[in-house]
Structure 1
Amino acid sequence: MSTGAAAAVAATAVTGLAGEPAVAQEPEVLAVDFADRTGDFRGGATGTLYGFGDEGAPTQSLINGAHITNTSQKAPYGTQHPSGDAIKVEDGFFAKNGEDMYIYVQDYYPDWSYNGGRRPGDTRTYNLEDGTYTEGGNGVWDYLEVVEFVAEAVATDSDRPEDYVFIPFNEPDGGNWYPDWANQKDQFLGDWQASYEKIQEVWERHDLGHARIGGPGDTRWQPQRSADILEFAKANDSLPDIFIWHELGINNLGTYRQNFADYRELEASLGLDPIPVNITEYGMLRDMSVPGQLIQWFTMFEDTKVDAQTAYWNYAGNLSDNTARPNGANAGWWMFKWYGDLDGSETVRVTPPTPGGVDTLQGIGAVDEANRKATVLWGGTDNDVALDLSGLDPAIFGDTVDVEIRENAHTGAEGLAGTPRVIAAYDGVALENGQLQLDVATYDRYAGYQLVITPDQTRDVEAAAAAQPWQDSIEAEDMNLTAATVYTQDPQASGGWQFLASGGQDVGSFNQVGSRAEWNVEVPHDGTYRLQVIGGAPGVPGRHALFVDDESAGTVQYAADLALNANSRWKYRGSAEVLVDLTAGSHTLSIRSSADGTTKLPNSDITLDKVSLTSVEEGEPTQYPASGFRLEDGASLTWNGNTRGGAAISGDGRADLYATAIETGYYDLAVDWASTGASSVEVTVNGVPVTEVSASGKGKWRSTSTVYLNEGINEIELRSPNGAVVQSLTTIRNRGADDAAVSVEAEDMTLHGQASVTNLADSTGTNASGSSFVGWIGNGTANTVEIARDGFDAAGDYDLTVYYANAETSGQHDYNPQVVDRLLQVSEGGEQVGHAYFRYTYSWNSFSQRTIPVTLSTADQSLTLGNTSAWAPDIDRVVIAPRVIGDATTARR
C-alpha cells in the first residue's frame, strides 16, 4: 500500500464493538494469495446434525440465511427424538440451499445407544405398512425389516427421494453394536452388505435408480476398520457413496488434515476413485455459536472440499446452538451466513501462522470473478491480524479498490447478535502490483471477521461506515464489581464440554443483595440507547435492576436459558435488552441484584458476560449494500456508469439479504436504486410479498416502505421484472408506527373449554406481561382462545406475533432434552389462515415470541387460536399488526 493509501486507511477506521484497542501486540500475519486458486467453493461445512426440529424450527429465514446445504435427521417415523423427522422438514431444508438430506436409519429406535447398544436379532415381526411390530421372530433379521420400512417411507412419502442419503449405521465402533472389531468384523460386513442390498432393492422396486448410502459413520477416523470395510465393499459392489466418520475433539483441529490425507491414500492403495466425504459430526460444545472457533473448522473442511455437520449436543431445531431465540441470530449464525455468502466463488490459498494448529488463527479466502468481489473470513486469535493480500488482478479489480471489514463478536448461544458492524472502511485504496496490507484489531479469539474487496463503488463506503449508530461495549469482568466474582472459562477445560465466555471470563456469584456491576461510559448525544446484557439465567427467567448515576432506570428482564447440566448451567448465555434515555456526557450504568438495597430480585443470580450500549435515537439505520447481497438467477453486480457496485436484477433475477430486527415492530425499508426507464422493485419479506416501489422514468431513486419485521433475522428478497440496479437497502426503526399494531393479553381473550388463566408469583421472575398467561390450549377443537376484531377490523395481510412458553419434553436421553415443538393453528371464522410450530423456551415461566403471517378475508370474524391434535403453547399475549402501513414513497436522489 502506498503511504497515501495508508494514511487514508488510518483516517477512516471505525470503532467497533471492541471499542478502544487493547495493549498493542505484534500482529499475526494471515497471507492470502488471490491468484492461487484452490478450487470451486464447496460450502458444505455448515451442515448440521438434527439442526431441524419441526416445520419452522428454525424459521425459514434462519435456514436460508445460514445456507445449510446438508443435514442429518432422524429416520421417517423414527422415535429417537420427538421432532426432526426428515420428511417433515424436507420442504424447509430444500427451499433454497438444501442439497443432501441424510437420515440415520437407526433413529427408528427410541433409545441411545440404539436398541440398548446391542445388535438386534430376530425376535420381532414388523408390519412394513406402518412400522409397528409384534414379538416373535419371522426368519428375517429385525434391523433389516427396519431398513426396508425406512427406505420405503422415503421412496413413497418424500417429494425428493433422490436427494436423500441413507446412513445405515451411526458410530458402530462406539456403543452401537460393533465395537469389538476383532470379533465382530465379519458380522458388521455381512450386515453392511445386507442393509446396502435391501435399500437398493427398495429403490429398484420404485424405479428410482441408485440409492445413495453413506458410511461407515465411525466415532473417529479408524484406519484399520476403514480399510477392511472399503476392501470388502469393493469386492462386493457395495461401496458407500459418501464416506463418513466423525471429528469431535479439541485436538481434531490439529489431526483432521492428516486423517483426511490418510483416507485418500487408503483409497488410492485400493485402486478406488475418490469418494465424497462427509464428516457428519464435528466440534464440541465450546465451538458452537462461537465465530472464532467455527471458522477453524470451516477452514479445514473447505480446504479439503468435504461436507461436514456440526454435532448435536443439546436439542433439535436450533442448528446445533447456532441460532438465538425462535428467529434470532447469534454470532455463530452470522459465521454460517458469511461462509454461505461465498457460494459461486473460487477459494484461494490462505497461509496462517500455524497451519493445522489447534485454537489458532485460520481463514478462508475467495474470489467471485463474475461479480468482481474478493472475500476473506478469519478468526481464532487474541492478537491483532496483519492481512498480507496479494494476487488482486487489475483486470478484475482495477487500480483502486473499496474495502470493508466487519466484526462478529461472540454473543453466547442465545444472545441476539445484530448485523455485524463495519469496523474499518477504505475508499479508493490504490493497489500496488495487486497487493494490499491491512492491520486489523482483534476483539478476542472468539470473534470472527469478514473482509470484502471490490472495485471502486459509487457508494461511499467510508460515509456508510461513519453513519452507523454509535456503539460501545465492555466485558463484564472489566466493570467495577461489588459482591461478585470473576471466573475464567478455559476453552480447553473439560475436554471442550462447556460453553465459552467472551473475553475468556465472565462474572458470577451475583447472589448477594449488594451484588452490582458498574460501567462508566460517555455517550455522544442526548437520546435513547439500547442496553444489551449478555448473561446466563440458568433454567428460569430472572431480573436485575438498572441504575443510571445512582437513580433507578428500570429492570433488566432475562428469559430463561438452558441449564440441563453443569456444561450449560450459567454458561448457556442469552441476552436481555432494555431502552434507557441518557443525556450527552459521562454516566455510570449500574446493574444490580437488588432494586431497593434490601431484597434480591427474583432469580437474580445470573452470570454476566458482556454489556453493550447502542444509540437508537435515529432509528438505528443499518445499511445492507449490494456487495453483500446473494445474487440469484442471473442477478449480478454491475460496474458501469454511476451505479458501480449495484446489483443488476431483471426478469427472474433476485437479490437476497438478511436483515436484523433487535425488536419486533415497524421499520422503514429504504431502497436506493436506479432505472433506465419506467420500472419497479418488488420487495418480499420472510417469504411474503409486501410492497412494490416504482418510478416512472430514468433516474436514481430512494423508495421507502414501512413494514413489520420480526425479532431476529428477516429474509428480504428484491426483484425487478423490468430491470433495476439496487445499490443498497437500509432498515430504519420506526417506533412511532407501532401504534398501528394491536396487543391483546391472553387473559383478556375469550377462553373456551379447558383454556384457563394462570397468575404467576413475582418470585418466579417471569417475563410474562402482567405475570399472567393462558394455558391448556389445544389437544382438541374445544380448548381455544378467541380474539375479537377490535382495532384490526379490516381484511388484509397481518403478522400475528405470539408471546408464548413451551417447555414440553418427551422421553429421556443421557444428555439431550427431548424437546417438543408445539403447533399453534390460527383460524378466522372457522377457516384456518395460518399455523406455526413453537420451539422450546426452557421454562414454563419464560416467554419467547414467534410470528405467524396471516391473510384475513373479513373485517369482523374473530380469530381462534388452538391445536386440533395436541397441546398448543401457553400464550402470554398476541400482537396483531398490519404487515405494511401507508403507501410507499419514491423520490430522486
Structure 2
Amino acid sequence: MRSTLRFPRFRRAATRAGVIAAALGAVIAGSSVPAEAAGLTLTVNVADVVRPATQVAAGGLYGVGSDSQPTTAMLLPLNPTSFTQPAPGTTHLGNGATEPCCDSLDVGDNLIRAGAQQFIRMPDIYPSFPYQWQGWADWESKVRKQVQDRLAETDMTNIHGWELWNEPDWTWNTNSAGSFNEGWARTYKLVDSLDPVTPIVGPSDSYYSHDRMVSFLTHAKATNTVPDVIVWHELTDMDWNNFDDHVRDYRAIEDSLGIADRPIAINEYNSLGQMDIPSVALHWMAVLERHGAREAHRAYWFEAGTFDGLFTLQNQPTASYWLYRWYGAMTGNIVETTPHSWLDGVASYDASRKIVNTVFGGDYGNNTVRVEGLGALGSQVRVQLLSTPGSGRHTAVTSPTTISTTTMAVSNGAISVPVNNMDANAAYQLVVTPVNGPTTSWQQVYEAENQTVVNANTFGSGNASNGYYVGQIDNNTDMRSDSFVDFTVNVPQARSYTMAIRYANGTGATSTHGLAYNGGAFSTVSYPPTSGWAQFSTVNVTVNLKAGYNMIRLAKGSPNFNGGTGFAELDSITLT
C-alpha cells in the first residue's frame, strides 16, 4: 500500500483567503494531464453492475448560495445528490467574500426542490478561516443555537448530518481547546443530547491519515462517539490515484476495532489547480463510484453559489457543467469501466430505455472506447459522441460539441468506437442506443433506488425491475426521521399521467403512503398485500404534472402528512 501520510499539508489559510484576486480562472495543466499518448482503450462492460446510479460525485461545498443561486431549474438537470452548507446564522466569510452566504436553512428549500440532501458545517459559524477559537462556553453556546434553529424548521427534511468540525488536523486549537479527540467527544455528546436523531459526521480531516484515523476511531469507540458517517477530504493533485488505498485502509481500521461499516462521504474533493479541468473531475467521478463512496462534494476554492465552478458568476454553464449534466442523466445502474493508463470513465446502463451512457477522458491522441454486453440492443446500434472543452470556470460554454452520430454493427455483443484527436483536459460523452434510438422518446420508468432516498435503505433482489429496490421506509415521527422517496421526473407536456407504482407489501393487510408532487397537498396511496417482501405488484394512480421537471414524493412520513399505515417497499414508478 502507498503511504497515506505523504501528502503536503499546504492547506488553505493561503488559498481560501484572496484566491479570487489571484485570478486562477485559467486551466493549470502541469501534472494534471499525461505526456502525450495514443492507442489506449477504455472498456465498458454493460453486463457487470457496480451499483445503482445515484450520482455519487454530484455534490458541492458551498455550492448553493441562496434560494435562487443557482436556481432550482439550473440544479435539476445535474441531479445533485447532496451538499455541505454552513451553519444556520453563519458569519463565515469564505474566499474573500464581504458578506456571509449559503446558510443551510436559507438554501434548504432550494435543495429539497432539486432532490438534494445536505450536511451542516457547524464551525462555519465563525467568520474567519482558519477558525479563531473563542473558548468552550462560546462554542457550546453556538452549537446549541444552531441545533435549536434547525429543530425550529419543522418542514426542513433534507438535513442528513451535523459536521462537528472542519479539517481539525490543522484548524483545531489544541493549546486552547485541548485535544481534538476529547473535543470531538464533548461536542458529539452535546449535539446528541439536543438532537439524537440527525446523523453526526466526521472527523473531516483535510487529507486521509492512517495514524490520525486510528487515533480518532479508537477514542470515539471508547467514548461511544463514533460518527454515523465517516468524512475526510481529498484535495491534492491527482489524489484520485490514492483513493482506493484510502478506502481499503479505512475499512481495515474499522475491522480491527470492531466498528460496523460506516458510509464514506468525501465532502471536499479536487485540488485548487485542477478544479476547473473537466477530465480531472471525470477521474474523481470514476474512483468515487468505483470504490464505494456514498456521496462526494466538489471543493469550495473560489466563489460560493456557483456549484463550485459549474456555473459562471453570470449563471452560465461552464465546460465542466456539461460533464456533470451528462453524469446527472445516468439512470439504471453504474456498470464496470476498466481504465487504460490515464483514459478513464463512468458508464451507466438503463435497461428500460436501452441506453448506455459513458462519460470519459483523460488522455491525448487517437484512442478507443470498447463497449461490451450489448446483446439486448440488437445487431446494430446508434452511437453518438460529444465533447466539452478544457476551459475554466470563467468561460461560458453554451452547449457541448457533437463530434459524430453513426450506426455501428454489433459483433459478439460489442462495439469499438474510435475517438480521435482527444484533448486530455476535455471530457467526452458516448451514448449507445438501439439503431432507431431509445425504446421510449422520454424517460418513463424511474427506479426508486436511483432517486432521493431518505431514512430508508436500498436492497438487491432478482425480483426487482433493475435488480434493486427501496425498503425500510418505516418512519413517520418528525422531519428528521420521516421516511420517503423523492422521484425527480421530466415529462414532455403538462397533462394528467397514469403513474404505476411497483411495490411490495408483506404485512398481510393494506398499507398506505402519502403522495404529493411539486409541493402540493398529500393524497393517500393504498397498497394491497403482496405474496411477501420483495414480491412486487402494481397500483395505478393519476398525477397532474407540469411540462419539464417535477418532484413526486411517496412517503411513510413527511411534513404536512399525518403518516402512512403499515409498511411497503418501492421498486419503481412508471409514467404513461
Q: Please name the residue that 2:559 is paired with.
A: none
Q: Please name the residue that 1:107 is paired with.
A: 124
Shift of 1:717: 0.5
Q: Distance in 2 between matches of 1:446 and 1:630?
A: 31
Select 2:223's aligned residue among 223, 236, 241: 236
Alignment of 1:451 with 2:427, yes or no, is no
Aligned residues of 2:306 and 2:315 also touching (Cα < 8 A):
no
**Cα deviation per residue 1:540-581 (whole Å; 9 max; x = unaligned)?**
xxxxxxxxxxxxxxxxxxxxxxxxxxxxxxxxxxxxxxxxxx
**Cα deviation per residue 1:610-629 (whole Å; 9 max; x = unaligned)?**
xxxxxxxxxxxxxxx976x6
Q: Distance in 2 between matches of 1:189 and 1:319?
A: 32
**Cα deviation per residue 1:4-28 (whole Å; 9 max; x = unaligned)?**
xxxxxxxxxxxxxxxxxxxx97421
3-state SS of 2:244 partner: helix
3-state SS of 2:230 partner: strand
Alpha carbons of structure 1 residues 165 and 398: separation in structure 2 relative to 1, 3 Å: same
Select 2:548's aligned residue among 684, 696, 717: 717
Alignment of 1:459-608 (within 5 A): none
Q: Distance in 2 between matches of 1:397 and 1:88?
A: 46
Q: Please name the residue that 1:152 is paired with.
A: 148
Alpha carbons of structure 1 residues 718 and 281: separation in structure 2 relative to 1, 3 Å: closer
Q: Please name the residue that 2:237 is paired with.
A: 250
Alignment of 1:480-879 (within 5 A): 654-655=489-490, 717=548
Q: Distance in 2 between matches of 1:271 and 1:345?
A: 34
Alignment of 1:310 with 2:334, yes or no, is no
Q: Please name the residue that 1:66 is paired with.
A: 78
Select 1:301's aligned residue among 284, 288, 308: 288
Aligned residues of 1:404 and 1:452 also touching (Cα < 8 A):
yes
Select 1:386's aligned residue among 356, 359, 368: 368
One-letter code of the match for 2:81? T
Select 2:184's aligned residue among 175, 192, 211: 192
Shift of 1:60: 1.9
Alignment of 1:400 with 2:380, yes or no, is yes
Shift of 1:242: 1.0
Alignment of 1:213 with 2:200, yes or no, is yes
Q: When the two structures are aligned, how many residues end up with a matched partner?
A: 421
Alpha carbons of structure 1 residues 340 and 191: separation in structure 2 relative to 1, 3 Å: same
3-state SS of 1:54 partner: coil
Aligned residues of 1:400 and 1:431 also touching (Cα < 8 A):
yes
Alpha carbons of structure 1 residues 296 and 653: separation in structure 2 relative to 1, 3 Å: closer
Aligned residues of 1:41 and 1:302 also touching (Cα < 8 A):
no
**Cα deviation per residue 1:641-694 (whole Å; 9 max; x = unaligned)?**
xxxxxxxxxxx994269xxxxxxxxxxxxx9xxx9xxxxxxxxxxx9xxxxxxx
Select 1:432's aligned residue among 396, 408, 411: 411
Q: Distance in 1 between matches of 2:184 and 2:42?
A: 45
- From the CA coordinates, give the structure whose radius of gyration is larger: 1
**Cα deviation per residue 1:98-140 (whole Å; 9 max; x = unaligned)?**
0x2111101111111111xx4x425xxxxxxxxxxxxxxxxxx
Alpha carbons of structure 1 residues 632 and 421: separation in structure 2 relative to 1, 3 Å: farther
Q: Which has the higher contact order (CA 8 A, sep 6+)?
A: 2
Aligned residues of 1:632 and 1:655 also touching (Cα < 8 A):
no
Alignment of 1:411 with 2:385, yes or no, is no
**Cα deviation per residue 1:424-451 (whole Å; 9 max; x = unaligned)?**
1123x32122111110124411111111
Shift of 1:289: 3.3
Q: Distance in 2 between matches of 1:716 and 1:380?
A: 37
One-letter code of the match for 1:717? G
Aligned residues of 1:401 and 1:430 also touching (Cα < 8 A):
yes
**Cα deviation per residue 1:311-358 (whole Å; 9 max; x = unaligned)?**
11112111111212433211111111111111x32122211113xxxx
3-state SS of 1:43 partner: coil
Alignment of 1:327 with 2:315, yes or no, is yes
**Cα deviation per residue 1:163-197 (whole Å; 9 max; x = unaligned)?**
3311111000013324x9xx98x732222122112
**Cα deviation per residue 1:772-805 (whole Å; 9 max; x = unaligned)?**
xxxxxxxxxxxxxxxxxxxxxxxxxxxxxxxxxx
Shift of 1:630: 5.6
Shift of 1:634: 8.3
Q: Please name the residue that 1:97 is paired with.
A: 115
One-letter code of the match for 2:340? P
Q: Distance in 2 between matches of 1:156 and 1:381?
A: 51
Alpha carbons of structure 1 residues 425 and 158: separation in structure 2 relative to 1, 3 Å: same
Q: Distance in 2 between matches of 1:443 and 1:385?
A: 7
Aligned residues of 1:42 and 1:305 also touching (Cα < 8 A):
no
Q: Please name the residue that 1:31 is paired with.
A: 43
Q: Distance in 2 between matches of 1:653 and 1:238?
A: 35
Q: Please name the residue that 1:283 is paired with.
A: 270
Aligned residues of 1:330 and 1:416 also touching (Cα < 8 A):
yes
Alpha carbons of structure 1 residues 158 and 446: separation in structure 2 relative to 1, 3 Å: farther
Select 1:163's aligned residue among 154, 159, 163: 159
3-state SS of 2:166 partner: coil
Shift of 1:716: 6.5
Shift of 1:158: 5.4
Select 1:362's aligned residue among 344, 355, 367: 344
Alpha carbons of structure 1 residues 656 and 173: separation in structure 2 relative to 1, 3 Å: farther
Alignment of 1:56 with 2:55, yes or no, is no
One-letter code of the match for 1:42? T
Any stretches of 5+ residues in structure 2 without a counterpart?
Answer: 1-35, 94-99, 449-486, 498-517, 519-545, 551-576
Q: Distance in 1 between matches of 2:300 and 2:549?
A: 35
Shift of 1:162: 6.0
Alpha carbons of structure 1 residues 454 and 310: separation in structure 2 relative to 1, 3 Å: same
Shift of 1:39: 1.9
Q: Distance in 2 between matches of 1:253 and 1:347?
A: 19
TM-score between both structures, scaled by the size of structure 2: 0.68
Aligned residues of 1:59 and 1:326 also touching (Cα < 8 A):
no
Shift of 1:410: 2.7
Aligned residues of 1:288 and 1:332 also touching (Cα < 8 A):
no
Q: Distance in 2 between matches of 1:233 and 1:630?
A: 46
One-letter code of the match for 1:424? S
**Cα deviation per residue 1:352-375 (whole Å; 9 max; x = unaligned)?**
113xxxxx2211122111221111
Alpha carbons of structure 1 residues 656 and 193: separation in structure 2 relative to 1, 3 Å: farther
Select 1:345's aligned residue among 332, 336, 346: 332
Shift of 1:376: 1.2
**Cα deviation per residue 1:52-106 (whole Å; 9 max; x = unaligned)?**
11221112222112222111111000100311000000111111320x2111101
3-state SS of 1:384 partner: strand
One-letter code of the match for 2:490? A
3-state SS of 2:309 partner: coil
Any stretches of 5+ residues in structure 1 without a counterpart?
Answer: 1-23, 123-140, 205-209, 355-359, 460-624, 636-651, 658-670, 676-686, 688-714, 720-893
One-letter code of the match for 2:135? G
Shift of 1:267: 1.1
Q: Please name the residue that 2:463 is paired with.
A: none
One-letter code of the match for 1:174? W
**Structure with the higher strand share, 1 or 2:** 1
One-letter code of the match for 2:180? F
Work out the percentage of aligned pairs sharing the same amino acid.
26
**Cα deviation per residue 1:361-416 (whole Å; 9 max; x = unaligned)?**
21112211122111111011112221122122x2x312222111111113331222
Q: Distance in 2 between matches of 1:631 and 1:373?
A: 13
TM-score between both structures, scaled by the size of structure 1: 0.45
Alpha carbons of structure 1 residues 109 and 148: separation in structure 2 relative to 1, 3 Å: same
Alpha carbons of structure 1 residues 144 and 86: separation in structure 2 relative to 1, 3 Å: same
One-letter code of the match for 1:417? V
Aligned residues of 1:296 and 1:363 also touching (Cα < 8 A):
yes
